[in-house]
Structure formats: C-alpha cells, structure tokens
C-alpha cells in the first residue's frame, strides 16, 4: 500500500524509519482491531517502538529514538506534568499512522538522539525501556527492596535490567516459557521461576515476602501471582495489557494485605531521554533483546512469531 508522504511543517522533521519493534499492543490491534474499548476503526499503520534518521532540517543525518506520543501540552493533565495522560494525545499506531513504513513526518520535540555506538534495532528498544523506567518510578524507592517481575516478555526483561541498575535487592522473576525465564536470569534476576502450579508459580518460593511486584503479562493469573508474592503493605504495579477489557483478582487477598495497586500508562517524555542515557552508559542485555528480524514485506510472518511468543523481541527493518 502506497501512502502520500506529508511535507514537514514548522517544528516537524521528515524521518526515514530504520527499525520498528513489535509490541504486544500491536498484536491486539493486528488481530482484533481493538484494545478494550479502544477501536482502530479505519485502516491504520501500526508501529510505535522505532528508531529513525532525520532527513530534513538542521538535524539531517542524526539517528534518533522516537517518542510515539504527541501530547497537546495545553490540557489540564499536561499542565499537571502528566502528558502521558493528555486529554488530546496523539499516538503512533493509535489515532495517527505509526512507523511500519519507510518514511514519516514527526514533531522534532519527540526525537531523542541515539548514542553513536548503538545499533538501529537497539535504538527501537529505548521506547519499551522508557515504559519500564516509568513503571519503576510509580513504585517509589526500590533501592534494596525485594522485587518481583511477573512475565519475562520484553518489558519485563528490560525492567529486570533497569531494576538491577536502580539498586533493587533481590529480584525474582517468573514466566511459564522456559526460553523467557532463562532470559530473565541473563538480564539480572536472582531467581526465575517457570513452573506454574494450580495455585500460582510464586506461592512456594516467595509467597508473601516481596516489597514490590510488577505484573507485566496482562493476565489475571499473573496478577494473582503478584498478589500472592507481595508482602502485607506491598505495592503492585500493573504494566501488562490484558486481552479483555476487564481484569479480576481475589479481593480478599489484596484487602487483607492492604496492597497498594497502581497502573502504568506508557511513559513520560523524559523517560525516553533517560533510556538513551542508560544505553549510552552501556545498558547490559540490550543487545540480547532482539531475536527475530524481518523486512516490511514479511510482516505477516513477523506477527505470527509475535503472537506465538517464539522469541523475545521481533523487529521490522522497513
């Protein structure tokens, strides 16, 4: 499909897309055309985790990671310092065309330089890393804390590496897929559990002893594991995107522990800058995230690998 190429307006740049990571939310859009009560409606170009090179203006030739969110900067949420909750937010691949194409126009303020030594596909990993950083911020001070990460998909794996750098104490991760559990160990988890019993994979090992638990799988079973693993008074951060528009959990379990539960919504603009700074200083494990690479012409096969969770991160090179 050929799309007319827009001309950059003031404050915008023409980009040549270099690498696009496929996300679990892309899988929902691709298969179902919706996430919860949000529907795509007409056809839309997907892709929101991407690196590009600028091809217009004074920054021509600069490689950048791209913030897929365009907040209005004028509404009450933007004024309160929460542009990720902007009331008029535009987002690549949701409301406006995303990055699964060769060229696109995007605001210059959303473009963060990529370190010179960082490969293009690792530049595309900076957006999910930014989401992980935002989720960690929502949990408060985690230095020395015992932490659980439920789900070793790309976000969970990047979170493990970031938690290690942020000074977390013991890190316990879980994933029912053996190759992802192994990846969790390689990213810095002290213990990774991959055997799920009829009650929950964390019950026997760490039940009721973790200070903070991040749920990154988007399933009720994962949330149950998080609540079981959490100690009384702990914080549980919901990061995963469920298949359905409702999430349920055992209310008595959460109530008796007086769990503080919070939900992560994407990231803040400065989180992408922080992610680039981490990559500049040598983010361990970033080079192991991409396991499958495809040209744009093989997008169907790429989404099949994503849906089957055969590897870790699937990247498209337009």
**Residue 196's pLDDT band (cuts 50, 70, 90):** low
Q: For 90-131, write each residue's pLDDT tens digit.
A: 999 888 899 999 999 999 999 999 998 999 999 999 999 999
Average pLDDT rounded to a whole number, residues 20-35: 68
> Which pair of structure tokens corresponds to residue 228?
């079981």
pLDDT for 32 equals: 54
CA 135 to chain CA centroid, Å, is 9
Q: Is the pLDDT of residue 163 over 50?
A: yes
Decide: 193 and 250 in contact? Cβ < 8 Å.
no
222 vs 37, higher pLDDT: 222
Query: For residues 218 and 223, what is the distance between their CA atoms, to the nearest angstrom?
Result: 8
Beta carbons of 50 and 100 less than 8 angstroms apart: no
- What's the pLDDT tens digit per position in 254-287? 999 999 999 999 999 999 999 999 999 888 788 8
Structure tokens at 226: 């998080």
For the chain, domains (ranges, CATH) are 12-125+289-317 (3.90.180.10), 129-263 (3.40.50.720)
∠191-184-149 over CA atoms, to 5°?
70
pLDDT of residue 109: 96
Q: Residue 306 belongs to what H/E stretch?
A: helix 299-308
pLDDT-based confidence at residue 198 (cuts at 50, 70, 90) = very low
- Phi-psi region at 50: left, alpha or beta (left = phi > 0; alpha = psi -120 to 50): beta
Specify the higher pLDDT residue, 217 or 35.
217
Of residues 307 and 145, the one with the higher pLDDT is 145
Of the candidates 179, 227, 181, 175, which has an alpha carbon nearest to the alpha carbon of residue 201? 175
Kindly report the number of other CB atoms within 10 A of residue 74's CB atom.
Answer: 11
User: Does the pLDDT at position 13 exceed 60?
Assistant: yes
Residue with tokens 């991409």: 290
What is the spatial distance between Cα 45 and Cα 28, in angstroms, rounded to a whole number?
14
With a pLDDT cut of 90, the percent of the chain lying above it is 69
Over residues 239-254, the pLDDT tens digits come to: 998 877 788 999 999 9
Give the pTM.
0.92
pLDDT at residue 168 above 60? yes
The structure tokens 């744009």 sit at 296
Beta carbons of 172 and 206 less than 8 angstroms apart: yes
Distance separating alpha carbons of residues 285 and 308, to the nearest angstrom:
22
């Amino acid at each position: 499909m050929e799309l007319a190429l827009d001309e950059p307006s003031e404050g915008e740049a023409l980009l040549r897309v270099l690498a696009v990571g496929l996300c679990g939310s892309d899988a929902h859009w691709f298969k179902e055309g919706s996430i919860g009560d949000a529907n795509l409606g007409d056809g839309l170009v997907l892709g929101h985790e991407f690196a590009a090179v600028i091809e217009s203006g004074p920054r021509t030739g600069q490689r950048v990671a791209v913030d897929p969110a365009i907040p209005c900067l004028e509404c009450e949420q933007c004024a309160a310092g929460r542009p990720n909750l902007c009331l008029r937010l535009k987002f690549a691949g949701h409301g406006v065309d995303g990055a699964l194409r060769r060229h696109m126009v995007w605001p210059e303020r959303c473009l963060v330089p990529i370190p010179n030594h960082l490969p293009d596909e690792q530049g595309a990993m900076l957006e999910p890393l930014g989401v992980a950083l935002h989720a960690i911020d929502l949990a408060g001070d985690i230095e020395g804390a015992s932490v659980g990460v439920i789900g070793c998909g790309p976000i969970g794996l990047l979170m493990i590496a970031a938690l290690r750098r942020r000074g977390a104490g013991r890190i316990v991760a879980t994933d029912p897929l053996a190759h992802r559990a192994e990846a969790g160990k390689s990213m810095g988890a002290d213990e990774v559990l991959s055997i799920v019993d009829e009650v929950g994979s964390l019950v026997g090992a760490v039940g009721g002893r973790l200070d903070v638990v991040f749920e990154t799988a988007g399933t009720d079973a994962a949330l149950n594991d998080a609540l079981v693993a959490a100690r009384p008074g702990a914080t549980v951060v919901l990061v995963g995107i469920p298949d359905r528009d409702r999430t349920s959990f055992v209310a008595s379990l959460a109530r008796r522990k007086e769990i503080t539960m919070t939900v992560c919504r994407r990231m803040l603009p400065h989180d992408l800058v922080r992610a680039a700074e981490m990559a500049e200083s040598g983010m361990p494990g970033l080079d192991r995230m991409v396991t499958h690479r495809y040209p744009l012409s093989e997008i169907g096969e790429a989404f099949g690998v994503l849906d089957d969770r055969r590897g870790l991160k699937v990247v498209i090179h337009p």
